[in-house]
A = this chain, B = another copy of it.
Amino acid sequence: MPQYLKLQPPFIARDHFLSQIPAPHPAIEMCETVDSLGRILSEDLFAPHPLPQFPRSTVDGYAVRSGETNGASESLPALLRLAGEAPMGKIAVQSVLSGEAILIHTGGMLPPGADAVVMLEQTQLTGSDNLEIYRPVAANENIIQVGEDVHTSDLVIPAGRRIRPVEIGGLMSFGVTCVRVNRAPRVGILSSGDEIVPPYESPQAGQVRDINTATMSAIVREAGGVPVDYPIIPDDPEALYQAVARAHAENDMVLITAGSSASTRDLTSEVVARLGKPGVLVHGVNVRPGKPTILAVCDGKPVIGLPGNPVSALVISGLFARPAIHKLLGCTDPVYQPAITARLTATVSSLAGREDWVPVILQPSEQGYLAEPIFFKSNLIFNLVRANGLLHIEADATGLTAGEMASIEIL
């Protein structure tokens, strides 16, 4: 029996692997803020001015001196004189004098003299300028004060944040229309195998089209990296070394989907070991599918050898490639793995000590979501196309029983 696999638990393998990737200093590039969705902010953003910059009303109503509404009620309203209207988008110059109120709209600037706004719904205008107020307001009620959102020099967006729509809004609120972001890591993608031909070629008997390069490229793109594809490599040690060394030199990270035979995997491991220190960290992970995974860091660049079948590629990318890209990106956000809870329609067994990932078909039902495990050979791409979820069975479990609730990661 081949001895090349010293199986490591996936999370220990991952921590070891990630810890050997040096803290990144990603190159920085400029980007229009409107095009920055999903990019990683390079610098802390400090507020150049307070927000809001002037006191604003949060409702439609009347700016008043709050003390003059004390004790107001339906039966005994406070009576004020409507003295004018605060203009939208202009400085409010007219002061609210004693006994007066000024009409104000949501977002309008609070006039001098006023310290609160009474909601329109709690008032009635009788005649042209007699205002009845049916409820007292406290000082500052229905107002956003200067700096209530942020004060000048507050750290408002930290470096390393992945830019979402709300960050774009936040940047725009300070007029930051151009922003420094981390350059996305380039990930070289290599597939090897004498039986593999490019997808645009017609395979001869015994040959198959390469699906790994395109699949891995898409996975890299989803994770925030820039995939760089290389031509298919024949099963030849020197050709493999030349191709891998070139991809290693030209990129920030390398993914190799080698042939799945044991000899090819050993070959990949030897080739990767020649690329630089510390070299191969993990060769074999206690996970199904994906056992013969190679995790290496060579001269500061992560290199991953993946089994050449679709399910393994998906699982191993999620466990190792995505977090590595995330680290190279300089992204400091915690990673949450959202999932939905579903009821298993069949029993799934698992070896204790081994983590299992099983593709499932999720379906809504009257009783919540159902998850139907797909049992199949992991070489079959179209069974995976049918799946829309992945069931994770922890290493300490020996399986899950039909009818049990399980957490399903959405594919």
Q: Which residues from chain A sit less than 8 Å from chain B, CB to CB?
A: 1-2, 33-34, 37, 51-54, 56, 58, 60, 87-92, 105-109, 120-121, 144, 148-150, 154, 156-157, 164-170, 172-177, 193-196, 199-212, 214-219, 221-222, 235, 259-264, 308, 310, 314, 333-334, 336-340, 362-364, 369, 377, 379-385, 387-388, 409-411
> What is the CB-to-nearest-CB distance from A351 to chain B, in angstroms, rounded to a whole number?
16
Whether A336 pairs with B310 at a CB distance below 8 angstroms is no
Q: Is the CB of A89 within 8 A of B193?
A: yes
Q: Count this chain's copies in the assembly.
A: 2
Is the beta-carbon distance between A221 and B148 smaller than 8 angstroms? no
Known: A58-B379, A338-B410. A385 touches B222 (CB 8 A): no
Contacts of A88 in B (CB 8 A): 193-195, 206, 235, 259
How many Å lie between the Cα of A37 and that of B217 in the bound state?
A: 10
Question: Quick one: which of B89, B92, B173 contacts A211, CB cutoff 8 A?
Answer: B173
Residues of B within 8 A of A194 (CB): 87-89
Say whether B105 contacts A261, CB under 8 Å: yes
Is there contact, CB below 8 Å, between A261 and B411?
A: no
Contact indicator A165/B54 (Cβ below 8 Å) = no
* Cβ contacts under 8 Å, A334 to chain B: 362-364, 388
**CB-contact partner of A172 in B209, B235, B262, B337, under 8 A:** B209
A156 & B211 in contact (Cβ 8 Å cutoff)? no
A409 to B210, CA, bound (A): 37
A93 to chain B, nearest CB (A): 10
Q: Tell me the minimal C-beta distance from A386 to chain B in angstroms.
A: 9
Q: In the complex the two chains form, is A2's CB within 8 Å of B121's CB?
A: yes
A113–B218 CA distance with the chains assembled, in angstroms: 40
Starting from the known contacts A2-B120, A120-B262, A338-B410, 9 additional A-B residue pairs (CB-CB under 8 Å) come to: A37-B221, A89-B206, A107-B195, A108-B195, A166-B215, A169-B381, A172-B199, A172-B215, A338-B338
Q: Is there contact, CB below 8 Å, between B169 and A212?
A: yes
Whether the Cβ atoms of B89 and A196 lie closer than 8 Å is: yes
Q: Which residues of B contact A149 (CB under 8 A)?
A: 379-383
Q: Are A202 and B175 in contact (CB under 8 A)?
A: yes
Instruction: Provide the residues of chain B in CB contact with A264, threshold 8 Å.
Output: 105
15 contacts between A and B (CB under 8 A): A2-B121, A34-B217, A37-B222, A52-B208, A60-B262, A88-B193, A88-B194, A88-B259, A164-B218, A165-B219, A166-B385, A168-B214, A172-B211, A172-B215, A333-B388
A90: which B residues are within 8 A, CB to CB? 204-206
Distance between Cα atoms of A245 and B284 in the complex (Å): 62
Judging by beta carbons under 8 Å apart, are B58 and A107 in contact?
Answer: no
Q: In this complex, which of A260, A333, A364, A369 has the most chain B Cβ atoms within 10 angstroms of its Cβ? A: A260
